[in-house]
Structure 1
């Protein structure tokens, strides 16, 4: 999707490309002109170097003839080497227009060098007159070279006069081209800017008209914007908001109608509630009745029946009272003992209970009715189906920041592939019956109560029993965060 930011970058890129093209063109033209100027200047400098070198040769020859020494001879040799280099440089300047003059010019340089060598030769042979005559000839040749240099430079000036005039004409044309190019670039930028601004303002105007229609209460007209940038996305969001508002109005109308119907049915509902209350049994009446039966059984000498009724009453009272509250682990252990007393009265010697409890762990807070569903599952699946009954172990022990509650039985075990679904909160069906309901409720309540996920483990082996391990934090989730912040 093309976004507004992308369009801005495109506009900036177009401007940069145009500026870069202009800069490269001007730089190329300027570099080309500068190179041509530099070539002409180098021609003049090379010719002038020949004149200077010839004068140095005559001067150094004169010094040597006046005072022959190794130093003066070295200077003379150096001057001759310089004029030879200057000759080679000048030779590269030859063209069709100056070929004849430049050939004579180089011949004069060769004559100067030869005359200088003959003067030295005669001087070494002690022929002073001949040496002076050659020196005079060398001086004359040096003057010819200077005059020839001026002639060649004048010829070069005439030759490149057309070039200078061409550069002036090109500069004038370039100024005209620059003006037209500036006008063209300005026109293009205005067109691009207009197109760019129109691509933004047009969708905004469409969106503004749609907003005015919504403010007038017209929620049935679709909002459509012709663009493919953020404004289009905003229009789509605006359109969804229109649909949601329209749906909300319809829902309000439906709810108003339902409210009217509900008002009419309130009398029937109140009457139904009164009849339902009349049919309920007061829990206190039931507790008092069980206590009365327990005392009567005790007075009649049936102590076991009395104890059983007391345990049933206590268990019923606990189940109704602590379902939605937190209790201590001590309370849970007491109700488990009452529950197991009832089950022992039922199964007699078929049920064996072993309890290993660390008394220091019993003050930990725990959701009500946490242990009973686990114990009840152990009784149902490990004791009840077997003729010889079974054994249940309950262990409560300390483990650093947690209390470990273990409920183990010697029953048939749980298939391995069904353990994880039970911990994940799924109800597993086995042989037409469901299992895992107690586990699921307990796990969910423990996770919600303590704010942690790792609260229960199930270890089971088919034919060897099952061990349920509840890892009870010693502090609730909020308290853990407070303590962690205090330590930090």
Structure 2
């Protein structure tokens, strides 16, 4: 509802209230007036009977004195008048005046009969009898007047409570008018407050929101419970806030990405330096290892030759693949080479169990991801224990992800240590590792997958450790064969 409509509503409410009061007062006055007119009409009709009887006696006297045709017509009109008045008297009958009103009606009938008898005697030229009947008619007229007065007096006594009731209702109406005035004033005050509050409340909410935005708080939603022009203004204000907030978030995300990119560069440089520090002339070392491998092969030590080849391939992979993405196939291949080296070292103490879905080996991930995780399991789950340990490696295809699971039955990782690894403050797995720490792998995975949480660590003291990599397929389609990996 717009503000203009609210104003019209206020005017309509006031008009309806005033019209209702006027209609109620008019109805009450009309009811009172109708009752008063009804009582007054009764008095008039009763008095009309007395007047009709007197008119009849006067018309009869005039006709007896002057028996002209004109006087005869007036006498007939007086007779008709008293008969009509008699019929009207019947309508006034009730339980209170039944006896008196019946007497008046009988007297009126007697007066008409006496008048007819007087006219008959007048036509027979009997002056004495005519005078006697005229005197009787006069007496009947007096009786009718007296009975009429009695009826009127009784009516006054009957309707006296009504008159008093009218006076009392008039006083009550005055008091009611005062209370109505107070009630209307109160209702109008309440409605006016609601009306003004419906306009000022959204404005106050909008002003508070504007104050918060001026303080830099763009995360507070602007809500205005209204359906007028102020609501439209609030919606536009909210849209502006959302746009500004989104712009700020984009700037913050870009700054965060730049920071993470810088951290990635520093991590890569640090990793490369650590790897290079552990090597003295890598190409010379590769050539030396190849020479020793061929010499061992010529001397018949094929197992030693294979071990040297695996070491050379592992070192070459570590140096060349650290700063680029590789396929899961490459990671699994170098993992097998690393396990062969460790098997030669620990013999039966190391039990490696692999369950690999080869359809998923073309997924992309950062280079040198799996080896540090397996190496961490070897260092903590196999090396410290005389009986050795078991390491399970699983690659499983899922609907939209490839799940890689690394399990061991070692002593487990404390919860505080897990939090430090995920936070990126862990420095590595030990002084005799590849130099690529557990946290380093976690950080590079986050950078590679743009902050997605793809690694999960489950561990309990004395219950082993499970590392789960959930690698998304989306974004790797160009690296996946048409018939591979679902």
**TM-score, L = length of structure 1:** 0.48
**TM-score, L = length of structure 2:** 0.48
Q: Name the structure, 1 or 2, with higher relative contact order (CA <8 Å, separation 6+).
A: 2
